Amino acid sequence: MTRIKGGTTALKRKNNMLARAKGYRSNRSKKIKFAHEALMRAGRYAFAHRKDKKTDFRQLWIIRLNAAVRETGHKSYSAFIGKLKKADIALDRKVLAQFASERPEIFERISKQVV
């Protein structure tokens, strides 16, 4: 059996890494070691920020809901959510925030049912 050297595979791997690092500044887009380091770090940040995005959106929905709830005459967001649960209305914060911003008339009907 003849010997096969791994040069083409290694070169392909390196070129793919440099292609993924295209657009990075300085050595990070030109040298293998720096590109690999930058890609590993970027991957960690991307993973963490995908998780953070969920938290950020939930906070945004809660802020929007709080403003809308106070306009309809309720005391606070937390009191409104508590009354929602007691009234067995199973709408999540995302849907409620969309109603509050895009369809205020529907949100008003929901808030009247809660009182």
pLDDT for 51 equals: 95
Structure-block tokens of residue 50: 């995908």
Given a contact cutoff of 8 angstroms between Cβ atoms, the answer to whether 38 and 24 are in contact is yes
pLDDT, tens digit (0-9, with 9 covering 90-100), for 62-75: 999 999 999 988 89
User: What's the pLDDT score for residue 39?
Assistant: 97
Q: Residue type at 16?
A: N
Predicted TM-score (pTM) of the model is 0.71
Q: What is the pLDDT of residue 63?
A: 95
Predicted pLDDT at 30: 95
Encode 25-44 in three state secondary structure. CHHHHCCHHHHHHHHHHHHH
Q: Cβ distance 96 to 61 under 8 Å?
A: yes
Q: What is the mean pLDDT of each run of 10 residues along the chain (115 residues)?
A: 87 96 95 96 96 96 94 91 91 93 92 86
CATH superfamily, with its number, for domain 7-114 = Ribosomal protein L20, C-terminal domain (1.10.1900.20)
For residue 26 the two structure tokens come to 């300085």
